[in-house]
Amino acid sequence: MNDGSDLNTICLRVDPRQPEPGVIRRAAAVIRAGRLVAFPTETVYGLGANALDARAVTRIFRAKERPSSDPLIVHLSAVEDLERVVSEVPEIVERLALAFWPGPLTLVLPKHPRVPDLVTAGKPTVAVRIPSHPVAQALIAESGVPIAAPSANRFGQISPTRPSHVLADLEGRIAMILDGGPTFVGVESTVLSLIGERPTILRPGGVSRESLTEVLGEVALSSTVVRGDEAAVSPGTHLKHYAPDAEVTVYRGDPSEVQQAMRVASRRLIQQGARVGVLIADEDLQAFQDLPVAVQSVGPSDDLETVAQRLYVSLRALDRAGVSHILAREFGTRGLGLAVRDRLMRAASGRVVDVQSDS
């Protein structure tokens, strides 16, 4: 009974649209027994444990090698369950829930005393979400308990959007994985704090800032996200997340100038003996054809849903190709572009080349 050491990880296939009740019952029994189950959500794969069982939650931190200073998101299957984990539900939650739940929006609210401190890293607040993925929905409902679930990767690695990513990081460390194929959104949920004076985005994600603004009128961006808007970001612990093994540099600015700058930098790095990978859009493909670089396109730059969906799988593919350097372009700040930028900035630990101002 130890999800931190050797285990036979049971892998069960599940229909992502209509999960088989028998499979869900088996997984829910594992959750109720205080063990870990990795399961698909619409954003990325989560590593779930009974959120009200401190010993079960300890296993999450052990399996992921995650520092206990990093709080977990608690997943519910219905709004009615909010009161089980939140001590006070502000009025705007109703409007937000109507507009975005179930879905990729996480709300930070005052914590109920029954939630173990371990879940919230000792904070008086708890992050909650109602995911829309049918497998996540079914598993939480069948378990009958709130499920604490961070992304199902080892700490500091890229979040998993495929079951194979979960197995690569956590096989032998967790009791079960539900294989529901690729996830739908591809980047993590938007984390919105309702604690301060104004609703504040702590992490941009699957629900865009624009759609939150439509419902709330005004939404603030936390300073860590704002810093991602500027060229000079100091690599802090918070930024060292979602990182591939290769050294990542983000290129920002006019797309054709970014293309040119990435070509020049690729040539220079190759001359120095580096192995280079580029993360680009479909319309950039031709510009890199003649260079000996590993190429991953995340889709047409105006299709941000596809870009977000393919971001992590493309970063992983470049890592697997054994490159020492990844040069990545940005996709603006509109819609899902803001979440894509945030994740690229973290992968790059803040290394940005602003093509317009310092080429």
Chain residue at closest Cβ approach to Mg ion: 151
Based on the shown chain and the rule CB under 6 A, indicate whether residue 70 belongs to the binding site for ligand AMP. yes
How far apart are CB 285 and ligand AMP at their closest, in Å?
A: 31
Selected range binding Mg ion among 129-137, 148-156, 225-233, 325-333, rule: CB under 5 A = 148-156
How far apart are CB 184 and ligand AMP at their closest, in Å?
A: 16
C-alpha span between 155 and 164 (Å, rounded): 17
Which residues 126-145 are close enough to bind ligand AMP by CB under 6 A? Answer: 126-127
**The entry of Mg ion, ligand AMP, none that residue 71 binds, CB within 5 to 8 Å by partner kind:** ligand AMP
By CB under 6 A, name the one of 77, 137, 151, 297 that touches ligand AMP: 151
How far apart are CB 342 and ligand AMP at their closest, in Å?
A: 11
C-alpha span between 115 and 125 (Å, rounded): 10
CB nearer to Mg ion: pick between 151 and 297: 151
Based on the shown chain and the rule CB under 6 A, indicate whether residue 263 belongs to the binding site for ligand AMP. no
Structural Rg of the chain based on CA atoms: 20
CB nearer to ligand AMP: pick between 203 and 329: 203
Contacts with 127 (C-beta within 8 Å, 6 or more apart), sequence order = 71, 72, 73, 74, 106, 107, 108, 120, 191
Edge to edge, what strands does the sheet with 276-280 contain? 294-297, 276-280, 325-329, 247-252, 352-354
How far apart are CB 70 and Mg ion at their closest, in Å?
A: 8
Please identify which residue in the block is written with the tokens 């019952």: 25
Contacts with 180 (C-beta within 8 Å, 6 or more apart), sequence order = 14, 15, 16, 19, 39, 40, 133, 135, 163
**The entry of Mg ion, ligand AMP, none that residue 20 binds, CB within 5 to 8 Å by partner kind:** none
SS3 letters across 104-118: CEEEEEEECCCCCHH
By CB under 5 A, name the one of 125, 151, 193, 297 that touches Mg ion: 151
Contacts with 65 (C-beta within 8 Å, 6 or more apart), sequence order = 154, 155
Please identify which residue in the block is written with the tokens 């069960």: 12
Based on the shown chain and the rule CB under 6 A, indicate whether residue 176 belongs to the binding site for ligand AMP. no
C-alpha span between 149 and 41 (Å, rounded): 10
Please identify which residue in the block is written with the tokens 């350097």: 325
CB nearer to ligand AMP: pick between 31 and 108: 108
By CB under 6 A, name the one of 34, 40, 71, 255 that touches ligand AMP: 71
By CB under 6 A, name the one of 16, 19, 48, 150 that touches ligand AMP: 150
C-alpha span between 348 and 244 (Å, rounded): 9
Selected range binding ligand AMP among 119-127, 178-186, 279-287, 344-352, rule: CB under 6 A = 119-127
Binding residues for ligand AMP, per CB under 6 A? 70-73, 108, 120, 123, 125-127, 150-151, 188, 191, 202-203
Binding residues for Mg ion, per CB under 5 A? 151
